[in-house]
Amino acid sequence: MPKLSINVGVLLIILGFFAYIGSEMVSITALIPSFFGLAFVGLGLLARKSDSMQKHTMHAAMLLALLGLGGSFTGLRQIVIALFGGDMPVRFTAAASQAVMAVICIIFLILGVKSFIDARKEKKA
């Protein structure tokens, strides 16, 4: 799970960088995925460093993913509406960046829950 956190963090850092470039470097808010990415990388590295902290840091990473999903869900909704014949978002780059961040967070949450379930089953055995 720490490796997944680091990989997700790197993806979000790259996403934020490209969103910032795509917004013609006008708005610092385009870098929000990068800030989340830095937090994911930090939590992943902390989990790798200390086995006793791994459970706590991965729970924190799951909370971070949930917050990231909550903050980016609007963009995902706007893109899905546009794909099914609705109006295009006014700020397409922002909506697309939010949609990608939301999908990354959803995938992280699904894999994280699966990891927690597997760890609990392993502990019982």
Nearest in space to 79 (alpha carbons), one of 103, 49, 53: 103
The string of pLDDT tens digits covering residues 2-28 is 899 999 999 999 999 999 998 888 888
Q: What is the mean pLDDT of residues 80-89?
A: 86
Q: pTM higher than 0.75, yes or no? A: yes
100/34 Cα distance (integer angstroms): 12
| Residue 38 Cα distances to 13, 16, 48, 71, 114, angstroms | 7, 11, 15, 16, 23
Nearest in space to 76 (alpha carbons), one of 106, 121, 37: 106
